[in-house]
């Protein structure tokens, strides 16, 4: 009897002792996505996460400037350059090129995050005015950032899947939308963004998207759509109240000294490195939000810098472009050359000295670089520091600046045949750089060629030229001529006006893959 | 004679004692009182441990005795008797001549491949004859020959179907075991069970403390562990105390480890000539420094600077004994191994306590085990990659450089390898891990044959490491102030299991049964990682004293919990027909609420043909057993919380952006993944057909097994398109689904033969396995192949696709190196013709001196569609063997192991023969193409290296090897030289990894993966050598002493 009781007790132990509650394990490392976004603080955090893709691989912390400076032939490879980056100067990039994969990937990551935020905000119904303002402003910022990502996607890839709301992201295999549909969507979204966005922010939020940035991007969209009248009208808005944009007195303020100017409409905010204890200075090699700790530097100064990794040079074509005939037909070297590149003894108008503001005094570029190569000065810190040793440049990446706006406005006017109206805009940009003032732009063809050179010189090393040449339809002829002179090759084919759809997308998305033509785009 | 000890505890001792007792009673009745003399003696095992309960019979009579708890016996034997026969289950029977001697010391030897061997089967043990499964077992004598820092390494080459690959040659780096092929896309590790309880730290057990290791391979045996058994089960049984006087066993060795292989590198002159060629290819000049005669002087052999002869020693002592109702065993071990690469040092200290008590007339048995392990690693490991790439003319030291080590300068030296000694000597690394496992069991007899057992393990761990860097300039980087990182964590986990065991013989029927449950709550865990930089002083290494510091990560309780019910039924009729059934129901918290529970089962049947009457006349065959089994097991090896939508805040709350320059970072939060609430168990079904054959009274034994394992619903992280925008930064988004299927088939065989009848006693056991692995289905999205193994921007090197082995090597096929411009021109003309002028170059930018890849798809030019399957990472053959011989006082053991039918990827070639940049290279590059007309296999320096270095057959080599794993020669001092205190003294010399035969050109063909500790990496990049540190050869001298 006793034994039976004991046996029953033990048997019951087997089946009663353990509750299924054991299986309800709580996640103590991550918040629950369904309950987290409910107040202004959490939405402000969500908004930060919309901006961070600007520092991803393929974007402004590293690859973005390599890809487009090399494709646009602003930059030429130097010997230390290696890996798939070597493909860009000779146009052998392909669907497996890692940098392009990152670009495409990061743009869509930004699209997802902005759509997620817009969707979450739409479910939030704040009552306090300050909360309502947060909601409106973040919605506008999200609309702008999504548009910026789509602007890059449509200009680089043409037809791409259009994700206009959160639900679209959970459709795994999506097909390509016609580019025209994307352009239309950009107009709508940016128009909404302009309404939602504030004119400016307090210092702590200086880098957020403003109304002016959205106006400029909408103008740029019109320009790319060749809607010149609408474009010129948008750009014109930015030169009148309530906006107070102005050209910086010295471009070095933006590109060397990293100080705030009234010229910036939108920039990728790179912050100073805060040491190994806080972040990994090499985070741009894939450590973003993962192993890289907290870091927002750009490694451009290190990658391009002649006292550092020196991976690229200034292309001869760009160097030579700074010397051109003035209105009297006399060869003239544009003083903006000295702001753009270093050259031994100041040849070709380059800056012959560096460390002009270093504590140990001025150094001669020629003492360090004897091969006659021209090295990048723009986006370098060498006037202030001899070398950092680590990638730790805090110089913000300019995405839209006022000089660009003026030149785009001039272009829209020239293309609408309002050439005299374009003249003061061009001269304003030239005056700041110390270049002579044009008295006339001549006929439309002449004006067009002046404007196009202005963009090349003023926006050198700012990833503008590749997009410009494609837009003007002159990529193949222009780059082939320059490469013929430099390398004896003419590598650019007609299909190069678009980037190849990344292989990883094609592998994972059979629907889209079926729409890819000629193994390219 | 002392009273016969009665025990109900299952296992060979009980069976032995029970039989002995029965036998003794029979004997007693028949005792004759003829002319007699008294013979006494002591029976002990090979290690000198007394064997209580052994039967000693006067041959040809029914006179005999059973040894007492000290292994002693005393028999009155008739004067005419000549021979004593001693037997004990699990050991080889012995006969000794009586002669005029009256006191005998008998040493019994464990029977290795006996058909009556007792094997652990999970929650119980059984005689092998009652088991219908494929179970492999090794005992202590196969283990002790090696000095290893990971118990798994002792299994290497010992069992058919069990592949062990060490994670590299650094002490403490561990090893991985794959049983019957890769059966998972998430984690191929088997389940480890220590002393009957799942989990536990297997490395807290010194190999000297292991009694046996049993591997359950087929589904009928593993199904009792349903949850986690899809990859097989490894059961480790440790030595316990034994009744008798206190005994002390000491085993220690000291030795030296070294790596003899070196790459043949360029000397300074050859190096500078190479740099000149590389510069020329880039239309760049040589720097002034490299034009001087000074750089043509070879100053440093960088390989010799980073390799060293390493001291190793290993000390173990075990004290054990016991009384009537209690036993104890105490062991302590200390291991100190230097790495063969500067400056790492590994130390391990272990303590083990094992107590057992019998209460209530021995009806309640308790055990308490505690194992404590402390591992200490010190020193940064030198970076080979840098060592090989350094210019030979650079000296090691440079007092003018920050940190005191020479550096190379990108401008004057044109290269930027970091001085490997700088990072080693100007840094400091230390890690300490303290783990303890406490195991408590209680077993109660309820009625004859029925017991109830409750067992629990509580594991606790503490870990800390720090890396400290002094200010230094290594070449590529400068650290102007000191910095450090620190990691801390503690963990605590437990498991509780309760079960009934029943075992009874009814006439010809033997019935055994198990019924129980297991409860394993989510573990407790906390970790924190911190880093600091910008130290004012380098006196104190404390992260809090850094002028700039931050918390870089912290984790809390991310484990999973499980709840399980299990049962087993075994039935044997007349020792001929064996039926094993088992079933388990498991719930795991990692799955969605609707898919938590899974049911697993196994069925096994065996027929011992030799037990049949009609076989009794066939004397040539002493054992013939046919086995068959089928079953289903599961796998829940995925991260928890994949079924719910979680907030992503970066790895360390580091979604950061600086909206205002100079303003502190703004922190971000977002969702970045797609949850799958429907995730469920992986299922593995396996069938096994086996045959056991014994000849010559089981001196010669064969075992054959054929298996087929089908894994379905494999959890797979499918890649989703980039356009979804999901996933971590820079990575392709993934989505977990139960999607893939895989098939592993294999044929296992083993043979053993032993002869101890002559002066030279010897035995040998060999095993070989032929196996294949094939992916049979992939994810849902168009069955997209999984690509992995990108290294050094050469592109992905493995592809997992339907119809091919998991993670097959996939790339271009090198045909030859283009010799002349004429050849290139002709090739390009062909391309133009074939593509109607659409393409004008066979390979973009092709020049003479470049690799010409095969046009696999025949479209006239080379693009990514010309990549194909170029190698197999999964060895078709694996084999191993042990040979033991003893002559008088000498003993010899040889162990070997190898794999064949496998490829390896020598990823090092990118850096060491790739000539992409000015780095030192092996002398293979002296064959490089230099001028039009050169016919060679080595491309031109730095020309089109983006294409030439793309992943291709150039990297793929034959990965087969044969390794003499161990040679041990021992000498045991004859007893006559020992005094009464010492019972055994043996000295030995051992050579571990004595030699290796291979065609592989790298340091070591035993390649794990790029980062072996990461399961995903291990599965998808197997066999890719990325500067894996080679396994050293170790020469040891050792001493074993018992008293």
Please report how the helices A444-458 and A419-433 are oriented relative to each other, as an axis angle in degrees rounded to 10. Answer: 30
Give tens-digit pLDDT for B918-943.
999 999 999 999 999 999 999 999 88
Give tens-digit pLDDT for A196-235.
999 999 999 999 999 999 999 999 999 999 999 999 999 9
Residue A209 CB neighbour total at 10 angstroms: 29
CB of B1029 less than 8 A from some CB of A: no
Q: How many CB pairs under 8 A join A and B?
A: 332
pLDDT band at B89 (very low <50, low <70, confident <90, very high): low
Mean pLDDT of A343-364: 94
pLDDT band at B525 (very low <50, low <70, confident <90, very high): very high
CB of A389 less than 8 A from some CB of B: yes
- Give the chain B residue nearest A167 (alpha carbons): B724
Q: Which residues contact B33 (CB under 8 A, 6 or more apart)?
A: none
Give tens-digit pLDDT for A272-330.
998 887 899 999 999 999 999 999 999 999 999 999 889 999 999 999 999 999 999 99
Mean pLDDT of A21-40: 89
The percentage of residues in chain B with a pLDDT greater than 70, rounded to a whole number, is 95
Which residue carries 């168990």 as its tokens? B681
Give tens-digit pLDDT for B880-898.
999 999 998 999 999 999 9
Long-range contacts of B1006-1012 (CB under 8 A, 24+ apart): B1006/B165, B1006/B166, B1006/B961, B1006/B963, B1006/B1031, B1007/B165, B1007/B904, B1007/B959, B1008/B165, B1008/B166, B1008/B167, B1008/B168, B1008/B176, B1010/B789, B1010/B791, B1010/B907, B1012/B165, B1012/B167, B1012/B168, B1012/B173, B1012/B174, B1012/B176
With 90 as the cut, is the pLDDT of residue B780 above it? no
pLDDT band at A14 (very low <50, low <70, confident <90, very high): low
Q: Which of residues 416-445 of A touch B (CB under 8 A)?
A: none
Looking at the complex, report in whole angstroms how far the Cα of residue A421 sits from the nearest Cα belonging to chain B.
36
Give the model's pLDDT for residue B116: 66
Which residue carries 């910095």 as its tokens? B483
Inter-residue contact B262 to B269 (CB < 8 Å) = no
Most confident range, picked from A86-95, A296-305, B110-119, B674-683: A296-305
Inter-residue contact B304 to B263 (CB < 8 Å) = no
With 80 as the cut, is the pLDDT of residue B66 above it? no
Q: What ipTM does this complex have?
A: 0.94
Query: Helix, strand, or coil here: A90?
Result: coil
Residue B396: name the closest of B263, B304, B309 by CA.
B304
Inter-residue contact B171 to B761 (CB < 8 Å) = no
Inter-residue contact B956 to B809 (CB < 8 Å) = yes
Give tens-digit pLDDT for B983-1038.
889 999 999 999 999 999 999 999 998 888 888 889 999 999 988 889 999 999 99
Q: Are A276 and B533 a contacting pair at CB < 8 A?
A: yes
Q: Which residues of B touch A204 (CB under 8 A)?
A: 659-660, 663
Q: Which residues of A touch B780 (CB under 8 A)?
A: none
The span from the CA of B202 to the CA of B352, in Å, is: 12
Instruction: List strands edge to edge, sheet with B210-216.
Output: B135-139, B210-216, B233-238, B191-194, B197-198
Q: Which residues of B touch A309 (CB under 8 A)?
A: 410
With 90 as the cut, is the pLDDT of residue B755 above it? no
Q: Are B661 and A279 a contacting pair at CB < 8 A?
A: no
pTM: 0.84
Rg (C-alpha) for chain B, rounded Å, is 32
Q: Which residues of B touch A396 (CB under 8 A)?
A: 661
Q: Are B723 and A25 a contacting pair at CB < 8 A?
A: no
Interface test with A, best of B724, B783, B801 (most A CBs within 10 A): B724
Give tens-digit pLDDT for B234-293.
999 999 888 888 999 999 999 999 998 999 999 999 999 999 999 888 777 788 899 999
Give the model's pLDDT for residue B35: 58
Q: Which of residues 357-386 of A touch B (CB under 8 A)?
A: 368, 371
Residue B759 CB neighbour total at 10 angstroms: 8
Give the model's pLDDT for residue B1007: 94
Least confident interval from B104-108, B350-354, B501-505? B104-108
- Mean pLDDT score across all residues of chain B: 88
CB of B448 less than 8 A from some CB of A: no
Give tens-digit pLDDT for B809-838.
999 999 999 999 999 999 999 999 998 887
Distance of CA A411 to CAs A78, A318, A408, A420, A460, Å?
A: 33, 21, 5, 12, 17
- Give the chain A residue nearest B484 (alpha carbons): A277
Inter-residue contact B800 to B807 (CB < 8 Å) = yes
Across the strands, what pairs with B321? B328
Chain-centre distance of CA B415, in angstroms?
A: 39
The percentage of residues in chain B with a pLDDT greater than 90, rounded to a whole number, is 57
Inter-residue contact A175 to A161 (CB < 8 Å) = yes
pLDDT band at A55 (very low <50, low <70, confident <90, very high): very high
Distance of CA A279 to CAs A284, B212, B550, Å?
A: 11, 49, 9
Chain-centre distance of CA B269, in angstroms?
A: 44
Q: Are A33 and B725 a contacting pair at CB < 8 A?
A: no
The span from the CA of A64 to the CA of A86, in Å, is: 14
Q: Which residue among A276, A290, A371 sits closest to B531, beta carbon to beta carbon?
A: A276
What's the N-to-C CA distance of chain A in angstroms? 83
Strands B103-108, B36-45: pairing is parallel
Looking at the complex, report in whole angstroms how far the Cα of residue B970 sits from the nearest Cα belonging to chain A.
51
Which two tokens mark B141?
């004598």
The span from the CA of B123 to the CA of B224, in Å, is: 9
Burial state string for B439-468 with b = 16 or more CB within 10 A and e = fewer than 16: bbbbbbbbeebbbbbbbbbebbbebebbbb
With 70 as the cut, is the pLDDT of residue B511 above it? yes
- Cα dihedral value B68, B70, B73, B74, nearest 10: -100
Mean pLDDT of A366-375: 85
With 90 as the cut, is the pLDDT of residue B877 above it? yes
Residue A32: name the closest of B879, B935, B644 by CA.
B644
Which two tokens mark A390?
């680590």
Chain-centre distance of CA B171, in angstroms?
A: 13
Mean pLDDT of B541-561: 88
Mean pLDDT of A412-425: 97
Q: Which residue among B561, B646, B663 sits closest to A32, beta carbon to beta carbon?
A: B646
Q: Are B652 and A48 a contacting pair at CB < 8 A?
A: no
Inter-residue contact B1025 to B811 (CB < 8 Å) = no
Question: Cis before residue A242, ω within 30 degrees of 0?
Answer: yes
- Give the chain A residue nearest B661 (alpha carbons): A271
The span from the CA of B223 to the CA of B633, in Å, is: 6
Q: Are B561 and A23 a contacting pair at CB < 8 A?
A: yes
pLDDT band at B378 (very low <50, low <70, confident <90, very high): very high
Q: Which residue among B479, B563, B658 sits closest to A269, beta carbon to beta carbon?
A: B658
pLDDT band at A349 (very low <50, low <70, confident <90, very high): very high
What's the N-to-C CA distance of chain B in angstroms? 24
Mean pLDDT of B579-601: 91
Burial state string for B195-223 with b = 16 or more CB within 10 A and e = fewer than 16: bbbbbbbbbbbbbbbbebbbbbbbbbbbb
Give the model's pLDDT for residue A13: 67
Give the model's pLDDT for residue B102: 81
Give the model's pLDDT for residue A422: 97
Looking at the complex, report in whole angstroms how far the Cα of residue A162 sits from the nearest Cα belonging to chain B.
9
With 70 as the cut, is the pLDDT of residue A17 above it? no
With 60 as the cut, is the pLDDT of residue B32 above it? no
SS3 content of chain A, % helix, strand, coil (to 5): 50, 5, 40
Give the model's pLDDT for residue B4: 36
Which two tokens mark B870?
């170029």
Give the model's pLDDT for residue B10: 38
Mean pLDDT of B195-209: 89
The percentage of residues in chain A with a pLDDT greater than 90, rounded to a whole number, is 82
With 80 as the cut, is the pLDDT of residue B9 above it? no
Give the model's pLDDT for residue B46: 67
CB of B527 less than 8 A from some CB of A: no
DSSP 8-state secondary structure symbol assigned to residue B372 = E
Chain-centre distance of CA B548, in angstroms?
A: 41
């Amino acid at each position: 009897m006793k034994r039976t009781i004991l046996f029953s007790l033990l048997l019951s132990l087997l089946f009663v002792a353990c509750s299924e509650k054991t299986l309800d394990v709580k996640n103590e490392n991550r918040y629950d996505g369904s309950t987290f976004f409910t107040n202004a603080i959490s939405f402000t955090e969500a908004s930060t996460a919309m901006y961070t893709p600007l520092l991803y691989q393929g974007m402004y912390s590293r690859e973005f400037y390599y890809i487009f400076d090399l494709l646009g032939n602003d930059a030429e490879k130097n010997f230390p350059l290696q890996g798939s980056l070597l493909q860009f100067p000779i146009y052998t990039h392909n669907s497996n090129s890692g940098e392009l994969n990152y670009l495409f990937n990061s743009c869509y990551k930004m699209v997802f995050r902005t759509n997620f935020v817009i969707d979450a905000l739409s479910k939030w119904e704040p009552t306090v005015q300050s909360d309502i303002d947060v909601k409106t402003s973040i919605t506008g910022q999200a609309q702008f950032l999504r548009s910026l990502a789509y602007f890059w996607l449509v200009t680089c890839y043409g037809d791409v899947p259009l994700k206009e709301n959160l639900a679209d992201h959970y459709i795994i295999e999506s097909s390509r939308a016609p580019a025209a549909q994307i352009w239309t969507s950009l107009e709508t979204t940016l128009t909404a963004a302009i309404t939602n966005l504030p004119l400016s922010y307090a210092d702590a939020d200086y880098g957020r998207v403003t109304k002016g940035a959205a106006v400029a991007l909408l103008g740029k969209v019109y320009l790319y759509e060749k809607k010149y009248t609408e474009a010129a009208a948008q750009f014109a808005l930015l030169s009148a109240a309530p906006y107070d944009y102005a050209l910086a007195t010295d471009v070095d303020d933006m590109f060397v000294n990293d100080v705030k100017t009234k010229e910036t409409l939108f920039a990728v905010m790179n912050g100073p490195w805060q040491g190994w204890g806080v972040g990994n200075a090499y985070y741009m090699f894939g450590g973003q939000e993962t192993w890289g700790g907290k870091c927002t530097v750009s490694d451009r100064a290190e990658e391009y810098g002649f006292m550092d990794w020196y991976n690229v040079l200034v292309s001869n074509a760009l160097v030579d472009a700074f010397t051109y005939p003035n209105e009297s037909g006399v060869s003239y070297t544009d003083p903006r050359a000295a702001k753009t590149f270093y050259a031994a003894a100041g040849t070709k108008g380059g800056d012959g000295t560096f460390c002009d503001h270093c504590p140990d005094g001025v150094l001669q570029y020629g003492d360090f670089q004897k091969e006659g190569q021209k090295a990048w000065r723009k986006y370098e810190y060498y006037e202030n520091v001899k070398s950092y040793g680590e990638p730790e440049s805090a110089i913000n990446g300019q995405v839209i600046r006022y000089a660009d706006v003026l030149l785009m406005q001039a272009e829209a006017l020239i293309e609408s045949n309002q050439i005299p109206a374009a003249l003061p805009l061009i001269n304003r940009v030239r005056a700041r750089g110390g270049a002579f003032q044009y008295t006339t732009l001549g006929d439309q063809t002449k004006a067009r060629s002046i404007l196009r050179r202005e963009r090349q010189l003023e926006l050198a090393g700012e990833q503008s030229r590749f997009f410009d040449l494609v837009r003007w339809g002159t990529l193949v002829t222009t780059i082939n001529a320059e490469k013929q002179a430099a390398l004896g090759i003419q590598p650019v084919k007609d299909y190069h006006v678009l980037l190849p759809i990344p292989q990883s997308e094609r592998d994972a998305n059979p629907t889209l893959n079926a729409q890819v033509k000629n193994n390219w785009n | 004679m002392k009273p016969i000890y009665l025990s109900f505890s299952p296992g060979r001792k009980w069976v032995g004692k029970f039989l002995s007792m029965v036998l003794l009673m029979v004997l007693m009745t028949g005792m004759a009182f003829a002319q007699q003399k008294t013979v006494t003696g002591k029976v002990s095992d090979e290690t000198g441990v007394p064997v209580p309960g052994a039967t000693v019979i006067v041959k040809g009579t029914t006179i005999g005795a059973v040894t007492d708890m000290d292994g002693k016996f005393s028999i009155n034997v008739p004067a005419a008797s000549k021979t004593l026969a001693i037997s004990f289950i699990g050991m080889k029977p012995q006969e000794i001549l009586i002669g005029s001697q009256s006191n005998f010391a008998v040493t019994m030897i464990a029977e290795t491949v006996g058909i009556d061997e007792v094997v652990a089967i999970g929650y119980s043990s059984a005689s092998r004859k009652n088991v219908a499964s494929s179970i492999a077992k090794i005992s202590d004598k196969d283990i002790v020959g090696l000095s290893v820092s990971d118990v798994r390494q002792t299994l290497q080459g010992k069992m058919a179907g069990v592949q062990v690959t060490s994670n590299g040659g650094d002490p403490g780096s561990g090893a991985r075991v794959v049983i019957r092929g890769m059966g998972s896309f998430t984690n191929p590790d088997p389940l480890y069970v220590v002393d009957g309880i799942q989990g536990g730290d297997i490395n807290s057990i010194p190999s000297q403390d292991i009694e046996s290791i049993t591997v359950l391979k087929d589904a009928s045996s593993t199904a009792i562990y349903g949850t986690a058994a899809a990859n097989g089960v490894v059961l480790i049984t440790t030595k316990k105390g034994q009744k008798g006087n206190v005994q002390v066993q000491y085993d220690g060795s000291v030795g030296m480890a070294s790596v003899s292989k070196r790459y043949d590198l360029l000397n300074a002159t050859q190096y500078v000539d190479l740099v000149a060629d590389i510069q020329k290819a880039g239309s760049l000049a040589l720097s002034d420094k490299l034009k001087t005669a000074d750089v043509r002087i070879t100053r440093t052999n960088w390989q010799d600077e980073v390799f060293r002869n390493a001291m190793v020693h290993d000390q173990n002592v075990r004290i054990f004994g016991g009384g009537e109702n209690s036993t104890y065993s105490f062991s302590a071990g200390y291991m100190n191994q230097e790495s063969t690469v500067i400056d790492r040092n590994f130390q391990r200290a272990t303590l083990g306590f094992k107590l057992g008590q019998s209460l209530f007339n021995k009806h309640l048995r308790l055990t308490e085990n505690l194992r404590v392990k402390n591992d200490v690693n010190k020193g940064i490991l030198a970076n080979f990659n840098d060592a090989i790439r350094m210019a030979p003319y650079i000296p090691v030291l440079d007092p003018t450089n920050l940190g005191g080590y020479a550096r190379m300068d990108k401008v004057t030296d044109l290269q930027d390898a970091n001085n490997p000694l700088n990072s080693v000597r100007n840094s400091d690394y230390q890690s300490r891990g303290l783990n303890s496992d406490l195991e408590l069991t209680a077993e109660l007899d309820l009625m004859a044959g029925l017991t109830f057992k409750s067992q629990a393990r509580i594991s606790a761990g503490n870990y800390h490491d720090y890396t400290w860097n002094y200010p230094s300039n290594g070449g590529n980087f400068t650290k102007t102030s000191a910095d450090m990182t620190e990691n801390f964590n503690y963990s605590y986990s437990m498991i509780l299991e309760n079960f009934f065991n029943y075992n009874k013989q009814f006439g010809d029927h033997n019935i055994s049964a198990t019924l129980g449950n297991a409860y394993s709550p989510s573990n407790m865990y906390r970790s924190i990682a911190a880093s600091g930089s910008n130290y004012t002083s380098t006196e104190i290494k404390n992260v809090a004293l850094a002028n700039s510091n931050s918390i870089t990560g912290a984790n809390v309780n991310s484990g999973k919990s499980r709840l399980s019910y299990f049962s087993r039924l075994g039935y044997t009729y007349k020792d001929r027909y064996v039926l094993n059934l088992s079933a388990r129901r498991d719930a795991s918290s990692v799955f969605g609420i609707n898919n938590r529970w899974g049911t697993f089962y196994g069925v096994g049947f065996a027929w011992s043909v030799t037990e049949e009457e009609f076989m009794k006349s066939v004397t040539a065959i002493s054992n013939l057993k046919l086995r068959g089994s089928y079953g289903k097991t599961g796998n829940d090896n995925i991260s928890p919380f994949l079924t719910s939508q979680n907030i992503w805040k970066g790895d360390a709350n580091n979604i950061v952006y600086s909206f205002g320059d100079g303003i502190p970072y703004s922190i971000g939060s977002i969702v970045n993944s797609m949850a799958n609430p429907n995730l469920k168990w992986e299922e593995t079904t396996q069938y096994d057909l086996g045959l056991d054959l014994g000849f010559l009274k089981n001196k010669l034994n064969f075992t054959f097994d054929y298996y087929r394992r089908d894994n379905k619903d494999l959890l797979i992280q499918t890649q989703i398109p980039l356009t979804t925008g999901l996933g971590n930064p820079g990575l392709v988004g993934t989505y977990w689904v139960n999607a893939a299927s895989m098939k592993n088939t294999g044929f296992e065989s083993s043979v053993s033969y032993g002869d101890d009848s002559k002066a030279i006693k010897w035995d040998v056991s060999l095993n070989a396995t032929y196996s294949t692995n094939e992916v049979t289905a992939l994810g849902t999205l168009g069955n997209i192949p999984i690509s992995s193994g990108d290294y050094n921007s050469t592109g992905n090197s493995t592809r997992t696709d339907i119809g091919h082995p998991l993670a097959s090597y996939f790339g271009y096929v090198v045909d030859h190196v283009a010799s002349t411009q004429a050849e290139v021109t002709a090739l390009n003309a062909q391309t133009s013709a074939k593509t109607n002028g659409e393409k004008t170059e066979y390979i973009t930018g092709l020049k003479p001196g470049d690799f010409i890849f095969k046009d696999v798809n025949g479209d006239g030019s080379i693009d990514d569609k010309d990549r194909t399957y170029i190698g197999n990472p999964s060895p078709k053959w694996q084999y191993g063997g042990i040979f033991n011989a003893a002559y008088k006082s000498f003993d010899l053991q040889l162990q070997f192991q190898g794999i064949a039918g496998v490829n390896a990827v020598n990823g090092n070639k990118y850096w060491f023969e790739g000539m992409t940049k000015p780095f030192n290279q092996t002398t293979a590059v002296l064959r490089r193409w230099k001028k039009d007309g050169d016919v060679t296999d080595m491309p031109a320096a730095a020309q089109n290296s983006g294409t030439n270095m793309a992943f291709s057959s150039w990297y793929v080599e034959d990965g087969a090897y044969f390794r003499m794993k161990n040679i041990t020669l021992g000498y045991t001092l004859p007893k006559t030289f020992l005094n009464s205190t010492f019972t055994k003294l043996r000295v030995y010399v051992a050579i571990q990894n004595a030699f290796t035969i291979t065609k592989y050109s790298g340091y070591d063909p035993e390649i794990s993966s790029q980062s072996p500790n990461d399961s995903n990496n291990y599965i998808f990049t197997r066999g890719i050598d990325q500067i894996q540190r080679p396994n050293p050869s170790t020469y040891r001298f050792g001493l074993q002493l018992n008293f």
